[in-house]
Structure 1
Amino acid sequence: MTIEISRELRQQAITSIERYFRENMEEPIGNIAAGALLGFFIEEIGPTIYNKAVADVQERLQARVSEVDLEVHEDEFQYWRKFDKQKKGR
């Protein structure tokens, strides 16, 4: 699966990369180079982050699904119990 980001997010990421280079590296990076670097990271490292996020979501969903029976469980054959309780209370 190819990871894609919107044009707006891509531009924000490129701007952020350019700023990072200006503030932390000896030489600044140009817009085209920053875009290429971003493309590299998305293609090379993006799937690792994406797969980890999917695994985290699966884990949370499985935990929630395993709790569904506790949240929505109804005791069976309760009709006569309410009458038995009334009789005992008399």
Structure 2
Amino acid sequence: MCAQDVSTDRQEPARVPDPGTLMVDISRGGRVGEFRGVAGPYWSLRPMNGGTEWEAEPATVRPATAMERLGAENTRCNARSRGDVL
């Protein structure tokens, strides 16, 4: 699936990321999640260390920085070493 534009309440359309892209939901305190797809007007994100997917408004989601990606990958590796995530 390639990236596409989706209209939001803002003037510019939000760019839909490719599945698997790490995104930050600023409405949830900077929670990092893996983009899973579009669900109506919302984007579905999945926590890196497992757990329940959540939906976020595209206007409150941004791509993760390099440091945020590194932190999320480290969290996932730690969860895998404990057996929390396959």
Same fold judged by TM-score > 0.5? no
Please give the TM-score of this superposition, normalised by the length of structure 2. 0.29
**Which of 1 and 2 has greater Rg?**
1
Please give the TM-score of this superposition, normalised by the length of structure 1. 0.28
Structure richer in strand, relative to its length:
2
